[in-house]
Structure 1
Amino acid sequence: MDATLYTNEGSFDSVVLRWIALEKECPIVIKTLVSSPRNTVRLPYFQDRGLALFDHNVVLQYLQERYPGEDLLPSDPQLRGQIRQICTLIRETESGESIVADLDSMLRGNEYLVGRDFSLADVYAGAWLQVNSALPKALPTRVFNYWKKLAARPAYKDALQ
């Protein structure tokens, strides 16, 4: 039985997990379900060899460990901690303006949020920018150009389809 990731349209968690699975070239089936009041399945939902995972972070860790593809977390513990902290900040901060200001600051002098390498923090930022693309205020040039660079990644494009 193929591993399957069930997601829903427009959900931050679903965009993150689809993008990660595609970035790592995981050999899994991705299905997008339509949310409805009658649908009692919690999404995103991942199933692999009899194992069912519901929590976004648990699925994320499972994909990182089970599928070796591109590693979105560096081996350096300090960088891993920094990336995880950025992911938590993006996921838990309610103020869109605050996140945009933080992204702008982190990108000052950096190609990506944590230096020169694409990482999990960039997946979170790109997913957040996509889900919140109707922000009332224009993005700072640095953040807008960064988002364009992320959007050019094939896995990003595929994750949104």
Structure 2
Amino acid sequence: MGVVAKRSTMTFFSDAVSHYCHRVRIVLAEKGVTVDIIDVDPEQLPEEVSELNPYNSLPTLVDRDLALYESKVMMEYLDERFPHPPLLPVYPVARGESRQYIYRIERDWCRLVDEILAGGNQKGLDKARKELRDSLLTIAPIFTEKPFFMSEEFTLVDCCLAPILWRLPQLGVSLPQTRQSKPLIEYMQRLFDRPSFQESLTEKERELRNEASVA
């Protein structure tokens, strides 16, 4: 394995359209971290990524001698490394609950997002879209009680959910304008209006949503 030169600043190797990369970019923006973000084609990864990351995958975060290659680990590392503003609760029980929410987002929703983006037969895609839409509508009422996902404050849970919600038009998932969906739609707008979220967006992500909306 070759020798990788030490970096004086943090570097984030990112796929400009990946929702897993996007969640980390939101955390970086929320924390105001000085970072060199390098957009990489996942089909043509630079040799440096393969030397740093045994899975040769994106995202990859490099902080001097430390290389991280799992998005949830990156988010928690950044929250501990840059404690203000905190993106996880202080108390162990609440932190455990937040981690469990993230786990469920990955099991219930990220799985469907990945399935839709991978393509396949129309019947399977329609089923995945319906399941994602119905599941999101089921949680809509929780946003009548608190402004963020089961919290008064913006957390890592919202960082995981925001990229999925931003990609709904691209995924072919539309939410009805109903009384039931209104709290969820208002929550989405709160997320999208955050300066950190706007800063986190790549040009490709902006174009994806605009193109999907026009289509």
* In 1: Cα distance, 2:84 partner to 2:35 partner: 13
Does residue 23 of structure 2 align to residue 16 of structure 1? yes
Larger radius of gyration: 2
User: Per-residue CA shift, 1:10-62, capped at 9, x if unaligned?
Assistant: 211101000001101122222222222x4264110011112211122222222
Q: What is the total number of aligned residue pairs between the two structures?
A: 160
Q: Contact 2:10 / 2:64 at 8 angstroms: preserved in 1?
A: yes
The alignment's TM-score, normalised by the length of structure 2, stands at: 0.68
* In 2: Cα distance, 1:115 partner to 1:2 partner: 33
Task: Indicate the residue corresponding to 1:84 in structure 2.
Answer: 99
Task: Indicate the residue corresponding to 1:30 in structure 2.
Answer: 37
Task: Indicate the residue corresponding to 2:67 in structure 1.
Answer: 52
Structure 2: gaps (5+ residues): 1-7, 51-55, 113-130, 203-215
What is the CA-CA distance between 1:77 and the residue it aligns to? 2.0
The structure with the largest helix share of the pair is: 2
Q: Rate the CA distance shift 1:99–1:9 in 2: closer, same or farther, 3 A.
A: farther
Question: Which residue identity is paired with 2:157?
Answer: A
User: Per-residue CA shift, 1:68-125, capped at 9, x if unaligned?
Assistant: 2211001022221222122111122134124413431321321111232111111112
Structure 1: gaps (5+ residues): none
What is the CA-CA distance between 1:137 and the residue it aligns to? 2.9
SS of match in other structure, 2:169: coil
SS of match in other structure, 2:153: coil
Instruction: List structure 1 segments (4+ residues) > 6 angstroms apart after TM superposition.
Output: none
Question: Which residue identity is paired with 2:66?
Answer: L
Using the aligned pairs only, state the percent identity: 23
Q: Contact 1:6 / 1:31 at 8 angstroms: preserved in 2?
A: yes
Question: Which residue identity is paired with 1:136?
Answer: V
Q: Contact 2:75 / 2:156 at 8 angstroms: preserved in 1?
A: no
Task: Indicate the residue corresponding to 1:106 in structure 2.
Answer: 142
Q: Where do residues 66-145 of structure 1 align in structure 2 (5 Å cutoff)?
A: 66-93=81-108, 94=112, 95-134=131-170, 135-139=172-176, 140-145=181-186
